[in-house]
Amino acid sequence: MLNRVPGSGKFLVFSLLLISAIAISQIGCGSTGGGGGTGTTTGGTTGGTTGGTGTGGTTGGTTGGTTGGTTGGTTGGTTGTPPPTDITAVNHILFMIQENRSFDHYFGALNKYRMNNIKDGTQINDFDVDTLDSSKLGQGPEAAPNCTPGTRCTNNADQTASLSWSTSGATTVTLDGSPQTGTNALRTTSVNTKYVLVASNTFGTARASFVVGVSPVAGPMLAGASPETIATGGTALLSWASSDNSPVSISPAPDPLHPQPYGPNGTTPVKPATTQTYTITSSAGSAQITVTVANPTPGSPTINRFSTDQGHVSNDGAVTISSFVLQDQCIDDFSPDWLESHGTFNRDNPASKNFLANGFVHIASGFAQFANSQGDKFHYFDVRGARAMGYYDETILPYYYFMAAQFATADRWFSPVPSNSPPNRLYEMAATSGGMVHAKGEGLDSSVSPPIFKRIQEKGGITWKIYYSDLDPNSGKPNTTLFAFQPFGDSMTDHMAPVDCNKRNPKDNTLATPCRPGQNDYFADLQNGTLPNVVLIEPGFDSGLDEHPGNQVQVGAAYVARIINALMASSAWRDSVFFLTYDEAGGLYDHVKFGTATPPDALDPAAPSQRPKHGDLIATFKNGQWTDKDAFTFCFQNDPNSPACVKFDHYGFRVPIFIASPFVKKHSVYHEPADNTAILKFIEKRYGLAPLTARDRDQPDITDSLKGIFDFVNVPWKTPPTPVGQPTTAPCFGPNTRVY
């Protein structure tokens, strides 16, 4: 079983909402000199005494000369054969998969950047990359209908508040004085509004209040509590809306461990021991609400819940939210889960194949409101959901823009599954999730669903290593998805090493990922010329270096820049390929429809009642029908044995990617539909491995001579470009850059 699939982030449910290396340390180097391996400044690891196939050659070989010696033997010396002119020229494949970002979100201004910065005579057009600033935005059957050149893309915010309640023992229930026979109501409002629910019977009454905020902001500052009276040990939900759209403070602090400001409109649970008046203060004023703690009168009614599924109303010009440039390197989190991803695809019919891309703002809004109601420590500001439409330009991410423009990017590169991180990270290694759409806390049997590294290990003669950025805070083990594949994962710890042995914990300055005696980290392997053939670099899942929403993207990007820059400055650069991409799109807007995909195997999504092992749809069959959030997946809502009609036959949304290598064509853009398992196919092709599943088998060949992005003959980036710097100083949750 899996300890934890890294990168799982939050799993919140809301309504629709090396082991010893063999003599061959580099493969395919040529039988009489070959490529000479990667080499070091003192010689090639496979240069040999004749510049051929030997395993020694610490000084490059007596006949290898200076070309087979001090430069690592790139031509195998004067007696060697020419270097390979196909994929066998590659001796180091590195991939790193960061967290939760969409292609539009990271590269929304890439055409403009390319037009302004590529000045080497290459023909550059303003539509080369299908992204937000393309002059052909919105054209073609894969494009969202809410996009046009110039105005970019839009989504609508919610215009109605959805109030709901649950009471016990009440004979009458009123909402703002009006009798209610149901348990929910829809309301529109143009100003901040406090709704009051009263439940009554002959023994007494119970009262709850809830505040709905609006955009554009209008009306007085208000505060509410639901319920307003609680029993000892009970919990109430505070709600508020400021009158000037400024952050608020709450006194006394509901969560003393996280005293940072709250958003202008929000909720948070409180659990006072005695009657307590809370003062909620913004820059324009304050409002108070008292929560009374008292034992209820016997027989009196109770209000179990009075809140909203959607509690922020947008009006007039605030309804339509266009894509916009973000000024803050941090944004509130999202939910890209199974339902939510399909709901962003088509808000009102998530099972549909009709691409509307109209649910991004709605889902982001609902997630923020739900997280606040659960007391999330991040204090979500953006309850309107506007952040979903934000994107970064080169001001925040200059390194990524530079690398994507100089080397290669791909504008049809998708996540493997339209869901959250865990199943996508299983695909990252095994090209399947074993039928799971959530994979929360679950892994796969490596004898049934082998990861790519098991295939590599079984073949032999191929060196590999996983470099980890963190130790799992729960188990103390390296934080890597490989542990999701048992028993193989636990048997391969000798193939794991830190990215950086000297990385420090910011809190106490202790070593965060120390090396064992004799163990090399990533940077030492680069310096020593001992970089393996296949390398996975795991993100800083627990140290905030993975670029997951909520973390500082510039800090994560600077970490990636350090890793790639070290490669470009090393002897390993000459025969390497580095893939930098993301596990899934994170709930952030992307205007391109899911691509059609080959299902990896015969395992469709299923409920636990249908398939106890790895059936993980959140769906229960009761009272003759499927219920809960994932019920939309089934073909027949009234059949407990219904198959899934929403399957693994389509990708998730597009993710950012760039491929850096001396063999990459300059400034290239790959347009063929692919997902992250295309990296597995690249590894398989290079080292003669069979496909893991039908998914990676059917991925496009990115080395294709016509459509591919590689030139193994001319080696365009034999000398890598001098990269730009990556700053880390943009605001993170700044008070003036967090409210949209």
Asked if 549 contacts 331 with a C-beta cutoff of 8 angstroms, the reply is: yes
179 domain residue, yes or no: yes
The Cα-based distances of 397 to 115, 334, 542 in angstroms read 17, 20, 22
Query: Residue 36 has what pLDDT?
Result: 32
User: In the numeric block, which tokens belong to residue 300?
Assistant: 């009196």
Task: Give the pLDDT of residue 33.
Answer: 31
Beta-carbon contacts of residue 727 (< 8 Å; ≥ 6 apart): 398, 554, 558
Q: What is the CATH number of the domain that holds 704?
A: 3.40.720
Whether 491 is covered by a domain: the verdict is: yes
For residue 144 the two structure tokens come to 């969202």
**Tokens standing for 290?**
């008292």
- Alpha carbon distance 573, 89 (integer Å): 12
Q: Is 466 helix (H, G, I), strand (E, B) or coil?
A: strand
- Chain center to CA of 104: 13
Residues 120 and 202 in one domain: no
What's phi and psi for 106, nearest 5 deg?
-95, -30
Domain span including residue 353: 322-331+345-390
- CB-CB contact of 439 with 354 (8 Å): no
- Do both 130 and 196 map to the same domain? no
Q: Report if residue 264 sits inside a domain.
A: yes
Verify that 267 and 395 share a domain, yes or no: no
Q: State the Cα–Cα distance between residues 666 and 128, nearest whole angstrom.
A: 13
65: left (phi over 0), alpha (psi -120 to 50) or beta: left
The whole-angstrom separation of Cα 107 and Cα 404 is 9
| Beta pairing, strands 265-270 & 236-241 | antiparallel
The reported pLDDT for the residue numbered 31 is 31
Please tell me whether residues 575 and 514 are part of one structural domain: yes
Both 78 and 208 in one domain: the answer is: no
In SS3 terms, 24-83 reads as CCCCCCCCCCCCCCCCECCECCCCCCCCCCCCCCCCCCCCCHHHHCCCCCCCCCCCCCCC
Please tell me whether residues 506 and 595 are part of one structural domain.
Answer: yes
Residue 592, CB-side half-sphere exposure with 13 Å CA sphere: 30
**How many independent structural domains does the chain possess?**
5
Give pLDDT, residue 150: 77
Q: Give the C-alpha distances (Å, rounded to integers) separating 576 from 406, 567, 730.
A: 16, 9, 32
Tell me the C-alpha distance between 23 and 28, whole Å.
13
Specify the 3-state DSSP secondary structure of 426: helix
Q: Please list the rounded mean pLDDT of every run of 10 residues in the chain (740 residues).
A: 43 37 30 32 31 32 33 42 92 98 98 97 96 93 90 93 96 96 95 97 96 96 97 96 94 94 96 98 96 94 91 95 96 95 96 96 96 94 96 98 98 97 98 97 95 97 98 94 97 97 91 93 97 98 96 98 98 98 97 96 97 96 96 97 97 98 98 98 98 98 93 97 97 85
Tell me which of 586, 618, 647 is where a domain ends. Answer: 647
Residue 354 lies in a domain: yes
Out of 374, 390, 406, a domain closes at 390
Locus of tokens 């999730």: 433
Give the residue among 400, 405, 716 at the shortest CA–CA distance from 574.
716
26 in Cβ contact with 46 (< 8 Å): yes
In a domain, 737, yes or no: no
Length of the chain: 740
Domain presence at residue 211: yes
Both 248 and 262 in one domain: the answer is yes
Strand partners, 193: 212
User: How high is the pLDDT of residue 308?
Assistant: 87
Check whether residue 11 and residue 140 sit in a common domain.
yes
Query: 3-state class of 249 per DSSP?
Result: strand
Q: Is residue 569 part of a domain?
A: yes
Residue 738 lies in a domain: no
For residue 346, what pLDDT is reported?
97
Q: Find, among 55, 92, 106, the residue nearest to 585 by Cα.
A: 106
359 in the same domain as 468: no
Residues 88 and 199 in one domain: no
Residues 615 and 517 in one domain: no
pLDDT at 65: 34
104 SS3 class? helix
Decide: 249 and 231 in contact? Cβ < 8 Å: no
Specify whether 621 is located in the same domain as 728. no
3-state secondary structure of 576: strand
